[in-house]
């Protein structure tokens, strides 16, 4: 099989996934979104310079704002996180779960392991090492409620850490991922946060409102990534000091930021396949090796017993923990340092991780996507945190309070100090440093990729922004990380994240509203297909004028034929053009402004045709035949298959390819198919209009027309 290049730098084998859509083929190159790029970059640079020039003033201001948010909106963060999770689970379990992130015939671009590795690596940073020891130890020595250093405190310690890394946070990623994937790959809207608002504001997503939403997403994203990079710099600095004696301090951290930005730049420019995907796979394997190393040299039986107990505690205590605001005796400092910070951090990461997950999940159903996003990373992080957390607790409970104080107050030292308890510390510490660096880089490069995409108009959802833009965002992230570290280290970064996550949390509720409205439209498409099916089938019973034998023989010949380009040209000339022309003329006679447009596929040169019929303020009818050249299947009879490839003419409607081939239809059969789809579209509009009048749904569903109109303007 020959390799087919796609826009995102990906390569697929023929037959593995559908080719680019006609809409994708017609749009131009990427270009900058001036408001989003210049607005966000100016704000980031200004905040960074302010923090560098007046670190004490910045620290005081950030602290005051965080105090106000914690007091006024602490309850809101708990409630919002729970509602996000509830909506995601509801959609996955409902009838909407079978809807694909893309046309219904599309297939996934990546295998299960590569996909799962990227799901995990993009959504988790080096903070997993940072908090896997520090989190449980801190909760054990200073729990939010109850007495410290008890058996109950030990059980709470691991469960609170799992809670902060559990399904609640991953639900935020799933929400953004399925919304962006749905609108981008199913309705050909831009792969940007603004697209999720289409059912609410229509084509105004291409104006100031859309720019404001994308700008907010970029700001939240860069602060969320900066937290991980700040933690990573501190962790790696100590690791290099532990291994090679590199001094800890600002100079070494600046050097690490520069090195990490350079590595992230190379990976981001290399693209998803050659950069992020390979790093993610290596990352997961090495992290598993590190976890197994500790498991073997600790006490495997005790750790496995603790793992099972932690799973049970997490499941049984989750309902009460998820809404536990500690209203009667709030541990304010603990909440700011842990739950409120983590929920704000997940929210800040949600735009960029959700966008990246959508980018790699085309062809998956919503149910598959949600299940994988909630379950696969949870199983991994639960195991990782349980192994390292219980190993650390074992040392503390056996009298190692000095180790516990170190892990709680200097988390970057806690992880490496734990490794000194086992043989071969140079190997394990070196492996931990490599894993940390890879986690750091995968967060930085996927963040640079997504921020570049958010600040660009992209020709297709699978196209990435210009390399220079990704380089800029990698450097800007490094600058912000450095500024926040100079202000007050990791604590300042966590406080800034709580602030920046709040505005986007409101946007996420608007996205829920828009996605739900759009998913309800799918019901009308299904009902329209069902109600028009009988008339479609009755048309298929028409007998050829030359008799019933000619009818079935022509059908058999079409089924076993694999025509080449010459036959495709003849099909367009003798069947398609006359059929499209006759239908358009008949529609114009009925008062419709029907038009026929013809072009040619750039790669093959085979013509395509499109029939459009505007419907006023409703979604227009669009019927397009698009030529696709694919390998001739192995089962084809060689006497009939004269070429290594053959041509299919697939039907594309507003929502994308319908997955069936009309090559070989007669003129009458093709006209019948066009009318089938036209009647189905009219029925869809009728059902949608009736529902709109009852429940104030938007008066038209998302489609390609508005995107194309915007591009033409």
- 1-5, 243-247, 604-608: which is most confident: 243-247
- Mean per-residue pLDDT for 578-586? 92
User: Domain 27-520, what fold?
Assistant: Amino acid/polyamine transporter I (1.20.1740)
Helices 339-359 and 167-181, packing angle to 10 deg: 30
In degrees to the nearest 10, what's the CA dihedral of 549, 554, 556, 562?
170
**Residue 125 confidence (pLDDT) above 50:** yes
Tell me the pLDDT band of 300, cut-offs 50, 70 and 90.
very high
**Residue 620 confidence (pLDDT) above 90:** no
Using alpha carbons only, give the angle 615, 616, 618 rounded to the nearest 5 degrees.
Answer: 65
Quick one: pLDDT at residue 406? 92
Using alpha carbons only, give the angle 12, 175, 325 rounded to the nearest 5 degrees.
Answer: 150
**Residue 275 confidence (pLDDT) above 60:** no
- Sequence-distant (6+) residues with CB within 8 A of 445 are 263, 264, 265, 267, 268, 275, 276, 279, 474
Cα–Cα distance measured from residue 489 to residue 170, given in angstroms and rounded to the nearest whole number: 26
pLDDT, tens only, 419-470: 999 999 999 999 998 888 877 777 777 778 788 888 888 777 667 778 888 8
For 203-207, 280-284, 696-700, which range has the lowest pLDDT when averaged over its residues?
A: 696-700
Tell me the pLDDT band of 262, cut-offs 50, 70 and 90.
confident
- DSSP assignment of 141-187 equals HS-SSS-SSSHHHHHHHHHHHHHHTSHHHHHHHHHHHHHHHIIIIIH
- 329-338, 483-492, 533-542: which is most confident: 329-338
- Mean per-residue pLDDT for 188-212? 84
Domain boundaries, the chain: 27-520, 544-696
Cα–Cα distance measured from residue 269 to residue 94, given in angstroms and rounded to the nearest whole number: 39
72, two tokens = 């006024």
Q: How far apart are the first and last CA of the chain?
A: 41
Contact indicator for 583, 675 with CB cutoff of 8 Å: yes
> Across the chain, what does the average pLDDT equal?
80
Nearest Cα neighbor of 550 from 669, 672, 671 is 669
pLDDT, tens only, 301-322: 999 999 999 999 999 999 999 9
Cα–Cα distance measured from residue 529 to residue 694, given in angstroms and rounded to the nearest whole number: 21
**Residue 530 confidence (pLDDT) above 60:** no
312, two tokens = 């049970």
Nearest Cα neighbor of 432 from 414, 451, 408 is 414
- 6-20, 576-590, 688-702: which is most confident: 576-590
């Amino acid at each position: 099989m020959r390799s087919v290049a796609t826009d995102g730098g990906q390569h697929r084998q023929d037959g593995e996934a559908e080719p680019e859509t006609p809409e994708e083929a017609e749009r131009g190159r990427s270009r900058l979104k001036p408001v989003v790029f210049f607005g966000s970059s100016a704000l980031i640079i200004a905040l960074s310079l302010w923090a560098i020039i007046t670190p004490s003033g910045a620290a005081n201001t950030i602290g005051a704002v965080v105090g106000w948010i914690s007091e006024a909106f602490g309850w809101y963060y708990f409630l919002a996180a729970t509602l996000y999770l509830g909506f995601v689970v509801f959609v996955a379990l409902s009838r909407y779960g079978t809807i694909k992130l893309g046309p219904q015939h599309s297939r996934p671009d990546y295998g299960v392991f590569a996909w799962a590795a990227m799901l995990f690596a993009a959504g988790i940073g080096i903070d997993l090492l940072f908090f896997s020891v520090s989190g449980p130890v801190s909760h054990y020595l200073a729990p939010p409620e109850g007495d410290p250093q008890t058996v109950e405190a030990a059980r709470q310690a691991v469960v609170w850490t799992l809670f902060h890394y559990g399904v609640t946070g991953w639900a935020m990623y799933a929400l953004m991922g399925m919304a962006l994937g749905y609108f981008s790959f199913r309705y050909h809207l831009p792969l940007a946060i603004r697209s999720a608002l289409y059912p609410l504001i229509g084509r105004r997503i291409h104006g100031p409102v859309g720019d404001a939403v994308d700008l907010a997403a970029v700001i939240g994203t860069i602060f969320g990534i900066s937290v991980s990079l700040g933690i990573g710099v501190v962790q790696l600095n100590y690791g290099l000091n532990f291994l090679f004696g590199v001094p800890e301090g600002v100079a070494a951290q600046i050097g690490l930021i520069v090195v990490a930005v350079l590595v992230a730049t190379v990976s981001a420019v290399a693209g998803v396949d050659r950069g992020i995907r390979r790093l993610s796979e290596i990352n997961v394997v090495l992290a598993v090796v590190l976890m197994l190393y500790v498991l073997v040299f600790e006490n495997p039986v005790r750790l496995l017993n603790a793992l099972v107990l932690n799973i049970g505690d997490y499941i049984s205590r989750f309902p009460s923990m998820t809404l536990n605001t500690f209203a009667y005796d709030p541990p304010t400092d603990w909440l700011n340092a842990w739950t409120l910070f983590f929920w704000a951090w997940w929210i800040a990461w949600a735009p960029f991780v959700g966008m990246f997950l959508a980018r790699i999940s085309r062809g998956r159903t919503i149910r598959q996507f949600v299940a994988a996003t909630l379950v696969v990373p949870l199983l991994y992080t639960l195991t990782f945190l349980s192994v390292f957390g219980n190993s650390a607790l074992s040392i503390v409970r056996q009298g190692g309070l000095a180790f516990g104080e170190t892990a709680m107050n200097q988390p970057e030292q806690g992880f490496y100090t734990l490794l000194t308890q086992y043989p071969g510390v140079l190997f394990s510490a070196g492996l931990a440093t490599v894993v940390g660096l890879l986690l750091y880089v995968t967060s930085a490069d996927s963040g640079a990729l997504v921020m570049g995409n958010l600040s660009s108009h992209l020709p297709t959802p699978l196209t990435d922004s210009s390399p220079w833009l990704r380089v800029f965002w990698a450097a800007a992230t490094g600058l912000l990380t450095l500024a926040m570290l100079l202000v007050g280290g990791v604590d300042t970064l966590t406080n800034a994240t709580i602030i920046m996550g709040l505005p986007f949390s409101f946007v996420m509720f608007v996205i829920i509203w828009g996605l739900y409205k759009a998913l309800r439209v799918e019901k009308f498409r299904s009902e329209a297909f069902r109600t028009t099916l009988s008339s479609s089938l009755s048309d298929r019973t028409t007998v050829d004028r030359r008799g019933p034998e000619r009818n079935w023989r022509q059908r058999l010949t079409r089924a076993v034929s694999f025509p080449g380009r010459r036959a495709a040209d003849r099909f367009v000339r003798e069947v398609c053009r006359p059929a499209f022309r006759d239908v358009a003329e008949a529609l114009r006679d009925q008062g419709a402004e029907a038009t026929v447009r013809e072009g040619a596929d750039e790669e093959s040169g085979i013509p395509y045709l499109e029939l459009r019929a505007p419907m006023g303020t409703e979604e227009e009818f669009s019927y397009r035949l698009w030529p696709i050249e694919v390998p001739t299947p192995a089962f084809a009879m060689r006497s009939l298959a004269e070429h290594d490839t053959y041509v299919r003419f697939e039907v594309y409607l507003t929502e994308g390819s319908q997955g069936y081939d009309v090559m070989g239809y007669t003129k009458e059969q093709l006209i019948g198919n066009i009318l089938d789809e036209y009647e189905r579209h009219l029925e869809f509009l009728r059902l949608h209009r009736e529902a709109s009048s009852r429940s104030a749904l938007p008066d038209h569903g998302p489609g390609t027309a508005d995107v194309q109109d915007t591009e033409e303007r």
